[in-house]
Amino acid sequence: MIKEIDISELQIGHFVVEIVRQQSNFTLTHAGYIKSDLVINNLLVKGVESILIDASKTKRANDLDDKEDNKTSIIMDVHKAKEIFNESKVIQQKIFSDAQYGKPLDLSPVVDITNKTIDEIFKNPDALACVINIRNTDEYLLEHSVSVSVLMTIFSRFLKIEKPIVQQLSVGAFLHDVGKIKIPEKILNKPGKLTDDEFTIMKTHVSHSIDIIKSTPGISELSLEVAALHHEKLDGKGYPFNITENDISTYGRMISICDIFDALTANRCYKKGYSHIKSFSILRSLAENNHLDKRLVNLFIKCMGVYPIGSLVELNSNKVAIVEQRNHNDPTNPKVRSFYNASHNHYEMAEDIDLAKDKDFIVKGVRADDFDLDMNKIIEFLLMEG
């Protein structure tokens, strides 16, 4: 029996057919069961007010498929991580606004949000790593600074750096590009290659960042250091100081890797990002040319995983899947969840696949836009799938 119910009446076990009333334009990719409170909360956040359910298909919560003994899926963890990421963007926006008008930066909210990020990453680094893949093309400046801070924290945790040091590195990474607010818009977001004169102006953003961070009450020397060194190269051809490897600290080398990796993988209004595999290849090439630290590049790739959590892969079966879990003994064959048929260009019932045990295998790493898909929609679909 099909009937309309208010969103407040929706429960785990209901079979949702479609949305009736809402305050936005959110759409369901398919009908299906409500398998967790997170799904209900997500619909509430989306502004859904009422829905159609098929009451004849209602199941008890205990009767729903529950894989891997209630083990929490990375998809479920992503929602909490997205809240932290979005909160970080709000704080970052205030930082850029204050810097633009010459106001001293208030460090306390930056410390608070980076501490929250650090705590989450030390508990579960994969969820925030996954969120970095869900980006808005027109918010690159904000999201890049937040993402570099997240990557720096994930990398620091992997290297077993002590938390008090990680906190300072995370703050420095969060603020590293604040000087870009002083760069003219036409140069900052120019789609083509910058002229020599334009690039000279672009490079001044680091000096602007240094000046702004230096004048921030309570900032540590280490936070300033990582922000100041993020464009230096081991061969001395970086900027603004043109210093060589002897004068670039481990932390300065780390942020260079995180900064370049995020810039390579992110979509911008004028270019598509590279896949993780392609980006790793570019990092290795830069290390071979003595721009980046080769040992740290290899450790960073090991930290992120050959196929990072939250990245997409195309399988030999023509399925597209999201990487959900590493197989540490078999890093090229992670555990994935398939959700899309690339041959017929449509979503299909999600399936958990352990590639270390299955006959299927990864053909290549891909991006959502390779199939005209949107990462937010993919996460919504997988969340609805439970």
Q: What angle do CA 121, 301, 93 make, to 5 degrees?
A: 50
Q: How many whole angstroms separate alpha carbon 173 and alpha carbon 203?
A: 17
User: Domains of the chain by range and CATH?
Assistant: 2-63 (3.90.105), 74-304 (1.10.3210.10), 312-384 (no CATH)
Half-sphere exposure in the Cβ direction for 186 (13 Å, CA): 3
pLDDT tens readout for residues 317-368: 999 999 988 887 888 899 999 999 999 999 998 899 999 999 999 999 998 8
The beta strand positions in 250-311, using DSSP E, are none
Lowest mean pLDDT segment, chosen from 137-141, 268-272, 281-285, 377-381: 268-272
Q: How many whole angstroms separate alpha carbon 107 and alpha carbon 229?
A: 20
Does residue 78 contact residue 130 with C-beta atoms inside 8 Å?
yes
Pairing of β 2-6 and β 32-33: unpaired
Q: How many whole angstroms separate alpha carbon 14 and alpha carbon 60?
A: 9
User: For residue 315, what are the β-bridge partners?
Assistant: 362
With H, G, I as helix, E, B as strand and everything else as coil, classify residue 374.
Answer: coil
Does residue 183 contact residue 204 with C-beta atoms inside 8 Å?
yes
pTM over 0.75: yes
Q: How many whole angstroms separate alpha carbon 386 and alpha carbon 377?
A: 14
pLDDT tens readout for residues 128-163: 888 887 777 778 889 999 999 999 999 999 999 999
